[in-house]
Amino acid sequence: MNVTVITPDELGATELTAWRAMQEATPALDSPFLSPEFARAVGHQRPGARVAVLSDGQRLLGFFPFERHRFGLGLPIGSGMCDSQGLIHVPGLDWDPMELLRACGLRLWRYDHLVEGQTPFETEVVGRAGSPVIDLRQGYDAYLAVLRARSARRAKHLRQDERALGRRVGEVRFAFHESDPRSLDALMRHKSAHYRAKEQVDLFAQPRATALVRELQRARGATCTGVLSVLYAGGRPVGWLFGLRSRRVLHIWFSAYDPDVGQFSPGILLRLKAAESAAAEGLDRIDLGKGSEPYKDRLKTSELRLSEGWVDRRTIPATVRRAQVEAVTRVRGVVAGSPVLRRAALNTLNAIPRLGHAG
């Protein structure tokens, strides 16, 4: 197998067509985070972004988007912001991960959202988690029937929340495709406030992260299109949702809402409105993103399985690097368990944007 490493912007028309065909052929790979458009956008913000092109000398077999960091450490492209990771390949391809890492100049590749069907990479799996999804293949009404069958009382409350919002604030309206760039500014502003209130790293304090989101909001590619949606009540915006869509999937990336309307479950209402619009446009599913938040359990119909771990070349330097990764993981656990250490770390990260994943 031949492996050529290039930057995302060096992908030509032939490579782009082949990449998209591979995504179309395998449902597990049909994520906008695995698209060439996402790889290119990341490449504009992170100097270490690369794509390994696999071929047999006659035809293209796969594409491996990754980031190359110091000491031979490899990460998924867009690490820290990428909700689906792996090798995009023709159906049935079997690859040697050691050979691939060697060709990429990597000693170790670490992942935290590895999609299903990437068995060669699963040499050191430390955890698995679900990414809840909403199945829309039978339409929105069929999905609502699933929710009612699960809990008629909860389904009734959802309708009551929307009516109550309309009575209290004003007429409720949902725009699936909002083009006003000020809406994205509002989303990021509210999301930043949420991150800080929850003592989490403020992603939008990092200029390159903000620039990446802005570029993807403008994306209109075959396998990656930015979708900015807004929930209005009484003529003013009260909720925002930003996601990426492929031909069949809408992946919800970020959302926020005005705390003044928090009692009306605006987060759930946003996702239900998005599901209705997505079904009307012929999408098969909505990916709610990895996590076990209660609202995801209430809305999901099933889950995709994601893996966390790494693959390495099992050389002495890789062993050292693996030990470093494990040590950092343990330290993060200690910091997360101490309110004082956690607050100090977050204040530092939020004050110095360059400490984020900036390539």
pLDDT in tens, 140-165: 999 999 999 998 888 888 889 999 99
pLDDT in tens, 3-14: 999 999 999 999
**Residue that has been written with the tokens 């599913």 in this structure:** 285
Do 35 and 115 meet the contact criterion of CB atoms below 8 Å apart? no
| Distances, alpha carbon 334 to alpha carbons 78, 237, 255, in Å | 26, 40, 29
The per-residue pLDDT for 332 is 46
Indicate the pairing of strand 302-312 with strand 73-76.
Answer: unpaired
Band of pLDDT at residue 278, cut at 50, 70 and 90: very high
- Tell me the mean pLDDT in the region 104-113: 98
| Distances, alpha carbon 209 to alpha carbons 35, 108, 123, 137, 153, in Å | 18, 24, 30, 33, 40
- Tell me the mean pLDDT in the region 331-340: 46
37/56 Cα distance (integer angstroms): 24
Band of pLDDT at residue 47, cut at 50, 70 and 90: very high
Q: What is the CATH number of domain 133-302?
A: 3.40.630.30
336 has a pLDDT exceeding 50: no
- Tell me the mean pLDDT in the region 207-215: 97
The token pair at 285 is 């599913």
319 has a pLDDT exceeding 90: no
* Mean pLDDT of the residues in the chain: 90
341 has a pLDDT exceeding 80: no
Domain residue ranges of the chain, discontinuous segments joined by +? 2-131+305-314, 133-302, 315-348
Q: Are 2-131+305-314 and 133-302 in the same CATH fold?
A: yes
Q: Is 309 left (phi over 0), alpha (psi -120 to 50) or beta?
A: left
Of the listed ranges 47-61, 293-307, 337-351, the one predicted with least confidence = 337-351
92 has a pLDDT exceeding 50: yes
- Tell me the mean pLDDT in the region 321-331: 52
197/189 Cα distance (integer angstroms): 12
Q: What is the CATH number of domain 2-131+305-314?
A: 3.40.630
The per-residue pLDDT for 315 is 54
Band of pLDDT at residue 185, cut at 50, 70 and 90: very high
Band of pLDDT at residue 256, cut at 50, 70 and 90: very high
Do 132 and 297 meet the contact criterion of CB atoms below 8 Å apart? yes
285/133 Cα distance (integer angstroms): 7
